[in-house]
Amino acid sequence: MPRETVHVLLIDDNDVDVEGVRRAFRKHRFAAPLIVARDGHEGLELLREGRVPRPHVVLLDLNMPGMGGLEFLARLRADPATRDTVVFVQTTSKRDEDVVASHRQNVAGYFVKSELGVGLAKLVELLRAYLRVVTLPVGGA
């Protein structure tokens, strides 16, 4: 059964990391369309305006200028329209506080960038497997 195309919203201010994700998708032939936001504000905007077609998942960095990842999560969960969004955190921070704070906002996973393997192989593998078995919310709430 062919599944619907899942869009990936990547919120990260680091060009190199964005490029890394693009490369990884390309290298591992992961076909999901990638939409990029530079910070939390932009990400929220894109989601609220429906410019990221559902079903979608969010790859979120925590430390960003402007609106950081944790604040983005708080606003996302506070808004009924976006409350059901599936979010993976991928960040450089290994701090317990960040891990705990993120899970409190019901993230689907917390990845530390340096541990995602050569060329983000693990990330892509995980996303692919995840999207294969998990049914994502489609309609708006």
Partner 1 sequence: MNKQTSRNRPVNGRAWWVPARPAAVASGAVGALLGAMVLAGWYTESPTLTRIDPAWAPMEFNAAIGFVLLGGALVILAGGRLRWARGLGGFAALLAAATLAEYVLGRDLGIDRLLFQQPATAMVQATHPGRMPANTTLCFLIAGLGIALASWRGRSRALILATAGSMLGALALTSLSGYLLHIEAASGWGQLGRMAAHSAVGFLVLGCGLMALAWGDRDRSDADGPGWLPIPIGAAVGTLLLCASQAAADVERAQLKTSTHAAAEGIRAHLELEVGDALAPLARMALRWEEQGGIPREQWSRDAEALVRDGHGLRAIEWVDPTDHVRWIAPLAGNEAARDLHLAADPVRRAALDRARRTAKLSASRTVNLVQGGQGVLVYAPLRVDGRGGGFLLAVLDLSALFDAVLTDEVEAHYHLVVRDGDEVIYATRAPDASAPPSVGQPAAFEGAVRYAGHAWHVAVWPSAALAGAHRSSVPPLLAWGGLFMALLLGWAAHLRRRTRQQARALSLAHADLELRVLARTAELERANRELARSNAELDAFAYVASHDLRAPMRDVDNLSQWIAEDVGDALPEESRRHFDTLRGRVRRMEALLDGLLEYSRAGRVSGTPEPVDVRAVLDDVLSLSAPPPGFQVLLSSAPPTVQVPRAALEQVLRNLIGNAIKHHDRAAGTVVVEVVSHGDLVEFSVTDDGPGIPLDLQARAFAIFQKVHARDGVEGAGMGLALVKRVVEAYGGTVGLESATGAGARFHFTWPAFQAP
**Which x/- pattern over 54-83 shows residues binding partner 1 (rule: CB under 8 A)?**
---------x--------------------
Binding mask 10-29 for partner 1 (x = CB under 8 A): ----x-xx-xx--x------
Dihedral of CA 53/102/12/33: which sign? negative
Contact (Cβ atoms closer than 8 angstroms) between residue 7 and residue 33? yes
92 binds partner 1 (CB under 8 A): yes
Q: Contacts with partner 1 in 102-131 (CB under 8 A)?
A: 113-114, 118-119
Query: In angstroms, what is the minimal distance from the CB of 20 to partner 1?
Result: 5
Tell me the three state secondary structure of residue 133. Answer: helix
Q: Which two tokens stand for residue 131?
A: 């999207």
Among 51, 107, 52, residue whose Cα is nearest residue 77: 107
- On the question of a cis peptide bond just before residue 33, with omega within 30 degrees of 0, the verdict is no
- Minimum CB distance to partner 1, residue 114 (Å): 6
The binding site for partner 1 (CB under 8 A) comprises: 14, 16-17, 19-20, 23, 63, 92-95, 113-114, 118-119
